[in-house]
Amino acid sequence: MPRYDIHVQALPVQEQRDTFKFMSFGFSPSVGIKGFQMLLNQWVKCLLTPRNSDPTDLSYGTDFTKIIGSTLPLADARDVSGIAIDECNDQIFKIQQADSTLTASERLANAEIVDFQTDPTAPGFSVYVEIKNQARERLVLNLPASALTE
């Protein structure tokens, strides 16, 4: 029996600014997904889940969301983002290792920062992450500009 995940999608930029949300189920009713989109959803969910917030697994998630609104210098934001991405990759590999039903398009090959742009006037930054699966598909994901406090 095929396994599906629930689809989430990025909101339009203006709606992100108005609501301070950037992901949504987006469809009514929810749509079951598989393949590369399933992997993307799984990866983004892990990256954006604050560590210690999942009562069933306190080690799940990363500290990436702690950057937003922090006093972290922009010079250090890339390093902290890279660490969070590496931790997310490790967790996804571990989760997927235990699941023999996943296809090559649903299995993570790698995710890494391909571009990092700072905006000292905001202050903030944008992180561009390339996510690759084992079927050799890839997508560059632009995480919304993350604001830091001065």
Domains of the chain, CATH where assigned: 35-147 (3.10.450.40)
pLDDT in tens, 64-100: 988 887 888 887 888 999 999 999 999 999 999 989 9
* H-state helical runs in the chain: 13-19, 36-48, 74-97
Kindly report, residue by residue over 35-51, the tens digit of the pLDDT: 888 898 899 999 999 99
Taking the model in full, what pTM does it have?
0.78
* Helix (H/G/I), strand (E/B), else coil: 112: strand
Confidence at residue 91, expressed as pLDDT on a 0 to 100 scale: 96
pLDDT above 50 for 1: no
**pLDDT score at 11:** 65
pLDDT mean over 107-118:
93
